């Protein structure tokens, strides 16, 4: 039996590239992930490159690098106040999938469902990461620089870091983050300019709904950890963007 090694097979490229990056990250002195986190990120990277090639990979890498940097903003002050991310922002497996499960579902959907759903799934993919970057940015900037923070359900002033708290500084930073990532998705051809608008709207809606969940439901259920809420948040972002596109297409057909 003859075996052929196809160096351009996306799955082989995915395994090779992510193995090299894993080795580099494993040896690097500055750790962005735990050891288990790196292994799970390897699996995520293989899936994303295998299904969406370098374009999808660039989106998740942009989110990860920018999000990791933003988490470290004002770290000394946040640690002193007891509101910093655990492990000083170093991500574990739960963080990897809390942030990327929705996007991974969309990526696998492009493989399993095919061309008819491609546009919707690519939009959902970008929207999920735009939502998570918006949420991370809003939270971390709000905790570090928010001058006044309010509980989103009552607008009652609360301390920084309170679940469900929002600030003007954090909200504006979150919008900028979602716009930036959405334009990355547009620049590499995953979505069009209309998709950019839908991603930004979806990220804003999902980020604020995540704050509502944090203020109302999260403390009532032990299983509703921050990572579970992140999954819900990114799913809301992806679904909202897809629904906006579907409504837009219906309206466009109605005007023809």
What integer pLDDT is reported at residue 92 of this predicted model?
Answer: 85
What integer pLDDT is reported at residue 222 of this predicted model?
Answer: 86
- Sign of dihedral through CA atoms 13, 16, 18, 20? negative
Query: Which of the 8 DSSP states describes residue 74?
Result: T
Domain membership flag for residue 20: yes
Report percent pLDDT > 90 for the chain.
62
Domain membership flag for residue 57: yes
CB atoms within 10 A of CB 214: 23
**18 with 45: CB under 8 angstroms?**
yes
In angstroms, rounded to a whole number, what is the distance separating the alpha carbons of residues 99 and 181?
14
In angstroms, rounded to a whole number, what is the distance separating the alpha carbons of residues 256 and 244?
19
Q: Which helix (H) or strand (E) holds 80?
A: helix 75-81
What integer pLDDT is reported at residue 195 of this predicted model?
Answer: 97
What integer pLDDT is reported at residue 11 of this predicted model?
Answer: 92
Domain membership flag for residue 137: yes
What integer pLDDT is reported at residue 47 of this predicted model?
Answer: 97
What integer pLDDT is reported at residue 13 of this predicted model?
Answer: 92
What b/e string do you get for 8-36 counting C-beta neighbours within 10 Å, with b at 16 or more? eeeeebbbeebeeebeebeeeeeebbbee
Classify strands 165-167 and 149-151 as parallel, antiparallel or unpaired: antiparallel
Residue 97, pLDDT above cutoff 50 = yes
Beta strands in the chain (DSSP E): 149-151, 165-167
Residue 80, pLDDT above cutoff 90 = no
What integer pLDDT is reported at residue 3 of this predicted model?
Answer: 40
Question: Residue 27 sits in which domain range?
Answer: 10-255
In angstroms, rounded to a whole number, what is the distance separating the alpha carbons of residues 179 and 185?
10
In angstroms, rounded to a whole number, what is the distance separating the alpha carbons of residues 54 and 52?
7
* Lowest-confidence region among 37-41, 89-93, 151-155: 89-93
What integer pLDDT is reported at residue 88 of this predicted model?
Answer: 57
Q: What's the pTM value of the predicted model, to 2 decimals?
A: 0.90
Q: What is the mean pLDDT of the chain?
A: 88
Report percent pLDDT > 70 for the chain.
90
Q: What average pLDDT score do residues 232-251 get?
A: 96
Domain membership flag for residue 1: no
Domain membership flag for residue 3: no
Residue 62, pLDDT above cutoff 90 = yes
SS3 annotation, 198-247: HHHHHHHHHHHHHHHHHHHCHHHCCCCCHHHHHHHHHHHHHHHHHHHHHH
- Scanning the structure block, which residue is given the tokens 């998740």? 60
- 194-211 pLDDT tens trace: 999 999 999 999 999 999
pLDDT tier at 191 (50, 70, 90 boundaries)? very high
Domain membership flag for residue 41: yes
pLDDT tier at 182 (50, 70, 90 boundaries)? very high
Domain membership flag for residue 5: no
Domain membership flag for residue 207: yes
Q: Based on the structure, what is the number of domains in the chain?
A: 1
Q: Which helix (H) or strand (E) holds 21?
A: helix 10-27
């Amino acid at each position: 039996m003859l075996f052929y090694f196809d160096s351009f097979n996306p799955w082989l490229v995915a395994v090779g590239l992510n193995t090299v990056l894993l080795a580099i990250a494993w040896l690097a002195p500055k750790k962005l992930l735990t050891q288990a986190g790196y292994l799970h990120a390897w699996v995520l990277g293989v899936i994303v490159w295998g299904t969406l090639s370098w374009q999808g990979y660039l989106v998740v890498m942009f989110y990860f690098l920018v999000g990791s940097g933003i988490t470290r903003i004002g770290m000394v002050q946040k640690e002193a106040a007891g509101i910093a991310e655990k492990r000083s922002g170093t991500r574990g497996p739960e963080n990897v999938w809390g942030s990327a499960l929705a996007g991974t579902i969309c990526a696998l959907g492009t493989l399993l469902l095919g061309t008819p759903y491609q546009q919707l799934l690519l939009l959902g993919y970008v929207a999920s990461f735009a939502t998570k970057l918006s949420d991370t940015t809003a939270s971390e900037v709000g905790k570090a620089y928010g001058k006044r923070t309010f509980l989103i359900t009552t607008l009652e002033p609360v301390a920084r870091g309170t679940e469900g708290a929002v600030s003007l500084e954090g909200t504006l930073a979150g919008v900028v983050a979602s716009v930036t990532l959405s334009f990355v998705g547009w620049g590499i051809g995953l979505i069009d300019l209309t998709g950019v608008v839908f991603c930004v709207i979806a990220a804003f809606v999902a980020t604020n709904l995540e704050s509502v969940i944090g203020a109302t439901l999260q403390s009532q259920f032990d299983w509703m950890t921050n990572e579970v809420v992140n999954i819900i948040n990114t799913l809301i972002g992806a679904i909202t963007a897809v629904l906006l596109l579907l409504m837009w297409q219906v309206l466009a057909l109605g005007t023809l």
